[in-house]
Amino acid sequence: MRVLSIVGARPQFVKLSPIAHALAAAGHDHVIVHTGQHYDAKMSDVFFTDLGIPTPDVHLGVGSGSHGVQTGSMLTQLDAVIEEHDPDWVLVYGDTNSTIAGALSAVKLHYPLAHLEAGLRSFNRRMPEEHNRVLTDHAADLCLAPTEVAMRHLADEGLAERAVLTGDVMTDVCLRVASESDGRPLPFASEVGDDFILATIHRAENTDDPVRLRAIVEGLAGLSRPVVLTAHPRLVAKAKQQGLDLTGGSLHTVDPVEYPTMVAAVRAAAHVVTDSGGLQKEAFLLRTPCTTVRTETEWTETVDLGWNVLALDLDGLGALVERPAPAPTDATPYGDGHAAEATVATLAERARPRA
Ligand code: UD1
């Protein structure tokens, strides 16, 4: 079987890692296409190096742009790439512009399309990620769902027959890296000590609304412990445009960190404050309490189990971060760390026989 993976943004490199390893272990061909959506070394290259992902076979180099420009420039190149490699499956990941571009190109060329991390919903139609994931699920021949909740969403939308519950590949990589990076020194330890809050903010809903972004930055700066803010380029650019200081009060802002450092930092942190989907879940997997700066989450299990709370009122951020510790749990809503093998087995079972 030949699988062609299309990735472009940081969280997709993390998901690609266990899939690349599982495909290689099972002896399948794997073609990796990097769209170039994320291009800074710290947002891209270090993930390939640290997570042992083979160098991409094709790099489209699209870079930044409006949604239409970015997605369109991927589309103009993808048809030829997919036809040249003639895969049994085109595999797209998550919910970014690279996902929807890969999905559109594959279905229009009549190549079988599989969507990894299918069925997630925020029900917030203003999020670019929500458009991308809904449209991709409906285009896909195979929806690889990480959770029971995702399976229910797919069934509710009439997609039950195409849906398979595989578990979450982010659990595979997070648990593996956590066991390998135990005791890894943190680059900011000498400045912040060992009682710190880890924060990330990058979503368009938070960064692109000046009033909201100011409230978030001031809320983080006003927390009572040091806040290590690993700053996504989008946050840095928007803060600069709006004249916001990312170094005031409790804030200790650093460049994006590589994945093993992030995992070690989540583990060591007293609390995580984020708007990232992946980080909410990593905080749960590593049992660090999390506050999510959004009005909804796709990872509802983290909230139901008490480890994640949505900061609906930004004025209350300090109280949420200082809330009592959640009850311990051994629940595994995100699988047992073998989702990539299940994904590869499902792809192999359902591959169309070649003519
Ligand atoms: C994208 C995804 C989002 C995902 C996030 C993870 C979409 C619509 N959004 O958001 O779902 O959670 O990636 O990071 O696909 N930039 C750089 N260097 C880079 C990458 C980006 O400077 O390597 C800057 C550019 O100014 C760019 C901005 O960040 O315009 C935003 O990048 P973009 O790819 O549009 O979306 P993200 O905010 O990263």
pLDDT (tens digit per residue) in 291-301: 999 999 999 99
Taking CA atoms only, the protein residue closest to ligand 1 atom 29 is: 234
Same domain, 193 and 315: yes
CA of 9 to the centre of ligand 1 (A): 7
pTM reported for the whole predicted model: 0.97
Same domain, 189 and 114: no
CA of 174 to the centre of ligand 1 (A): 22
Structural domain that includes position 253? 179-321
Taking CA atoms only, the protein residue closest to ligand 1 atom 4 is: 96
Same domain, 205 and 83: no
Same domain, 118 and 33: yes
* Total number of domains in the chain: 2
Instruction: Decide: 248 and 221 in contact? Cβ < 8 Å.
Output: yes
Calpha distance 202→251 (Å, rounded): 16
Any domain includes 259: yes
Calpha distance 351→323 (Å, rounded): 49
Calpha distance 355→155 (Å, rounded): 32
Looking at the chain, how many residues does it have? Answer: 355
Any domain includes 136: yes
- What pLDDT score was predicted for residue 331? 97
Tokens of 117: 């991390």
Distance of CA 227 to the CA centre of its chain: 22
Residue (of 153, 140, 148) closest to 114 by Cα position: 140
List the catalytic residues.
Answer: 202
Best of 10, 60, 170, 234 to mutate for ligand 1, by most ligand atoms within 8 A of CB? Answer: 234
Instruction: Decide: 225 and 148 in contact? Cβ < 8 Å.
Output: no
CA of 322 to the centre of ligand 1 (A): 31
Q: Quick one: which H or E segment has residue 197?
A: strand 197-200
Best of 7, 13, 38 to mutate for ligand 1, by most ligand atoms within 8 A of CB? Answer: 38
Ligand 1 pocket: which residues have CB below 6 Å? Answer: 9-11, 37-40, 43, 64, 95-97, 128-129, 202, 232-234, 237
Best of 42, 64, 124, 207 to mutate for ligand 1, by most ligand atoms within 8 A of CB? Answer: 64
- What pLDDT score was predicted for residue 334? 97
**What is the arrangement of strands in the sheet containing 251-254, beginning at the earlier edge strand?**
251-254, 227-230, 197-200, 271-274, 290-292, 308-310
Residues facing residue 59 across a β-bridge = 34
Same domain, 61 and 104: yes
- What pLDDT score was predicted for residue 83? 98
Helix, strand or coil, per DSSP, at residue 339: helix
Same domain, 159 and 196: no
- What pLDDT score was predicted for residue 355? 66
pLDDT < 70 regions, the chain: 355
CA of 343 to the centre of ligand 1 (A): 27
Any domain includes 173: no
Helix, strand or coil, per DSSP, at residue 29: strand
Any domain includes 327: no
Any domain includes 286: yes
- What pLDDT score was predicted for residue 353? 84
CA of 278, closest atom in ligand 1: 12
Taking CA atoms only, the protein residue closest to ligand 1 atom 3 is: 96
Same domain, 148 and 193: no
DSSP H helices, the chain, are 10-25, 45-50, 67-85, 97-108, 128-139, 148-156, 169-180, 189-192, 204-207, 210-221, 233-241, 259-268, 277-285, 300-304, 317-321, 339-350
Neighbouring residues of 342: CB distance < 8 A, sequence distance ≥ 6? 166, 167
Any domain includes 267: yes
Any domain includes 203: yes
Instruction: Decide: 47 and 84 in contact? Cβ < 8 Å.
Output: no
CA of 202 to the centre of ligand 1 (A): 8
Any domain includes 127: yes
Neighbouring residues of 143: CB distance < 8 A, sequence distance ≥ 6? 114, 115, 118, 119, 137, 154, 159, 162, 163, 164
Calpha distance 312→6 (Å, rounded): 34
CATH code of the domain containing 149: 3.40.50.2000
Tokens of 249: 């009060």
Same domain, 147 and 208: no
Same domain, 240 and 288: yes
- What pLDDT score was predicted for residue 77? 98
Calpha distance 113→24 (Å, rounded): 20
Same domain, 16 and 142: yes
Same domain, 282 and 139: no
Same domain, 185 and 291: yes
